Amino acid sequence: MTTRLGTASAGPGEVDTGRLEVGETRDGSPFGLPVAVVNGAKPGKTLYVQAVSDGDELHGVGVVQRVVPQLDPAEIAGTILFVGIVNYHAFQVAEHRNPIDDTKMNRAYPGSENGTSSERIAAATFDAATRADLILDLHQGSTSRMIDEVRVRCGKRHRLHDDCLELAKAFGCGYVLDQKGPDGQLARAAPDEGIPTVDPELGGAVGWDEESIRKGVDGVFNVLSYYDFLEEPIELERQTRANGFEQYGASCGGLVDFEKELGDEVARGETLYRITTPFGETKETVTADSDGLLWRTRRLPQVATGEYVCSLGTDLDSY
C-alpha cells in the first residue's frame, strides 16, 4: 500500500521525501516541513520520528539526516515517517521559540488547525504522528550542557506509562527521566491517543555535537530492531532512571566553578559548585540538597542572581 505524508509518497519497498505544507510565510509563499516516508517491503508497525520542535535543537535533524540514507526499505518490515524540521520559523533564525507567535512548540500539542502558527504546525505534525504505533520526538537540553537521556512524560499513573518506559529503554541512552511533563508536550498528548511516545534528549550544544548525534542514531536503530522493523537482534540494557529533577539557581552573581562533572553521582551535602569573583575569591559554596546525578548545567560560567545554574536528576533507580 502506498503511504503518503505531505507530498512524499512511497509504495512498499520505496523511500520518498517531500514537504508537509502548513501555511504561508510573511511574504505570502507557501511553506512546508521537510518529510520523508520509508515504506518497508514487508508489513509491520509504523514509527514516527520528528526533530527540531525547538528551533535551536539541531541534534535531531543530525540524527534524521544520518539515519534515513542508511535505511534499506527492502530490509524493513513496517513504515517510518519522518518530519526533519518541525519548528520551521525558529529553525530559520536559530531560535528556540517560533518567532511568529513567540511560542514554544512543545507546549502547543495537540495543536489546532485554525489556531496560531505554532498550533497549526503542532496540529499538522500531531496528525502525522498519531498515524504511528510509536513516536520519537527528538530534543536536547537546548544549548546548555546535558547528558544524553530519554524522557518519559506521560506520568506514572498513565495507562501507557509502562509502554513509554519500555520505548525509552529500547532507545537506550543509559539515562531516563521519568517525570510527568507540562501540558502541550507531544509526549503528553500522544499517549492519550494510545501511542507510546518518548522525548530522547540528546545532550545539549550550540550546533552539532557528533557524540550526541551518534547516540541518537544508535537509539533510532535500537528502536527499529527492538520493535521488529529490522531483523537485527537486540538486548535491552539497564537504564539509570531519575524520578525527580532538582534545579539550582544562583543566589549571587559571579563565575560558576563546578566541582562535579556532568553524569557524576553526588551525595546530599557534597559540593556541587562555587560562585567566585573575577579574582578567584569564593562568594558561595553550593551543596547538593539530595542524592542524585549531575544532569544538566549552564553553558556560560557567568551568572547573575537568580539565573539557572544546574539540575540534578534525583530519586535514582534502575530498570
Q: Which residues bind Zn ion (CB under 5 A)?
A: 54, 57, 139
Q: Shortest distance, CB of residue 103 to Zn ion, whole angstroms?
A: 13
Q: Shortest distance, CB of residue 244 to Zn ion, whole angstroms?
A: 20
Q: Shortest distance, CB of residue 303 to Zn ion, whole angstroms?
A: 22
Instruction: Judge whether 118 and 101 are in contact, CB under 8 Å.
Output: yes
Q: Shortest distance, CB of residue 185 to Zn ion, whole angstroms?
A: 9
Closest residue to Zn ion, based on beta-carbon distance? 139
Q: Shortest distance, CB of residue 31 to Zn ion, whole angstroms?
A: 21
Residue type, 80: I
> Which residue number, 202 or 266, has a Cβ lying nearer to Zn ion?
202
Q: Shortest distance, CB of residue 143 to Zn ion, whole angstroms?
A: 11
> Which residue number, 53 or 239, has a Cβ lying nearer to Zn ion?
53
> Which residue number, 37 or 186, has a Cβ lying nearer to Zn ion?
186
> Which residue number, 97 or 120, has a Cβ lying nearer to Zn ion?
97
> Which residue number, 79 or 87, has a Cβ lying nearer to Zn ion?
87
Residue type, 262: L
Q: Locate 252 and state its grid cell.
A: 549571587
> Which residue number, 78 or 200, has a Cβ lying nearer to Zn ion?
200
Q: Are strands 282-287 and 271-276 parallel, antiparallel or unpaired?
A: antiparallel
> Which residue number, 140 or 314, has a Cβ lying nearer to Zn ion?
140
Q: Shortest distance, CB of residue 52 to Zn ion, whole angstroms?
A: 9
